[in-house]
Copies of this chain bind each other. A is one copy, B any other.
Amino acid sequence: MGEPRWLGEREAAVWQAYLAVQRELHSALERQLVRDSGLSNADYSLLVPLSEAADGVVRSRELGVLVGWERSRLSHQIGRMEKRGLVVREECAEDARGSMVRLTPAGRAAIEAAAPGHVEAVRRYVFDGLSAEEVDVLDRVFHRVLGRIADDA
C-alpha cells in the first residue's frame, strides 16, 4: 500500500462531524421516540418495513438485510418485541429453515401512533434547517458514497 494517505485537517474535521451527527441524531431521535411512544430506534427500524410489507409479514433473513444487523442482534430484538406483543414469529411454509416475522395489530397501532412524532423530529433536526440546494448536494453525495461502497464489494 505504500505510505498511508492520512486525511487532511479539513477532511478529518468533517469526518468527526459526520460521526457526531450519526451519534447525536440517533440519540435525539431515540429520546423523542421513547418519551412520546415507548419505542426504541431498534423497534422503529423493524416496525417500518413490517408495516410496509404485504400482510405485515417479512422473512426474518430479509429483515436482517433491510436493517443491516447480524442474526443474533436481530433475533434478540425480535424476541423483545414478541414479548411486548408487537410482532409474532411464524414458521415459513416454503422453507423449513426460514422463519417469518408478522406485525400484530398492536404493532401496527404502535408504529402508526409513533410515526408523526418521529417524522416531525426528523424535520426539526434536519430538513427545516436545509436549503433545497443543500438537500440536492446531500442526495448526490449519499448516492455517490453508496455507489463507491457497492463498487468495492
Contact = CB atoms under 8 A, between A and B. Distances in A.
Interface of A: 1, 4-7, 10-11, 13-15, 17-18, 20-28, 67-68, 115-117, 119-120, 122-130, 134-135, 137-146, 148-149, 152-153
A86 to B, nearest CB: 21
- Helix, strand, loop or mixed for chain A's interface? helix
Contact of A13 (B10, B119, B134, B139): B139
Contacts of A153: 28
A1 B120 contact: yes
A68 B26 contact: yes
Given A5-B119, A15-B127, A27-B68, 16 more contacts: A1-B120, A5-B120, A10-B135, A18-B138, A22-B22, A25-B149, A26-B68, A125-B145, A126-B145, A128-B148, A129-B144, A129-B145, A130-B144, A134-B141, A137-B138, A138-B141
A122 B15 contact: yes
A139 B17 contact: yes
Nearest to A127: B11
Given A24-B149, A149-B25, A5 B141 contact: no
Nearest to A7: B119
Contacts of A140: 134
